[in-house]
Amino acid sequence: MRGQAVDGADPGGTRAAALRAAFDRAFAEPPAPERGAPLDFLSVRLGGDPFAIRLTDTAGLFADRKITPVPTTVAEFRGVSGFRGVLVPVYDLGALLGYAPLQSGRWLVLAAGGALAFVFDAFEGHIRVPPEGVSARRDSGSAHGVHEIARLGDRAWPVIDIPAAVEAIRARLPRSNASKE
């Protein structure tokens, strides 16, 4: 029976050769570009406007935390709050971006590293955006710390750069003189 077609068998081995060639070609061709992992954001509102915060820039989201006021000349500083046994300064995120200061805020986001927290108006939820859905802002007058836009479907959120906000606050703080005699 050798060399004869039995029940649709491939007598010349052309199908096996085609499969072998496809297998070899799969290793010879460059791999298809991998689509990056989606990016996770918190969707928030400041002064009624939508914004996004990268989840990787945060150490936690909290509701209804007590903020103890502390006397200060820094308008955006709201006081201190306890997070995981540590007192952390709390700043008004909207005020840092030019919005009117909050009278009260329900939501706090702890910055990655836990150095400080930001209070804001409203938390809307979690959004997951493909990497190609995040782009640089084109307008030159973008708010301090807002340099990207996250787009998903027909919605768009300016992305608040939490590390840049932390650095802006640190730059405004008075420098302590560690080498006092």
* Digit-coded pLDDT (tens) for 24-74: 777 766 655 556 899 999 999 999 999 999 999 999 999 999 999 999 888
Query: For the segment 68-110, what is each residue's pLDDT rounded down to a tens digit?
Result: 999 988 889 999 999 888 999 999 999 999 999 988 789 999 9
Percentage of the chain with pLDDT > 70?
82
What average pLDDT score do residues 162-177 get?
Answer: 82
Residue of 180, 173, 141, 149 lying closest to 54 (CA atoms)? 149
- pTM of the complete model: 0.74
When pLDDT is averaged across residues 8-14 and rounded to a whole number, the result is: 65
Strand partners, 54: 41
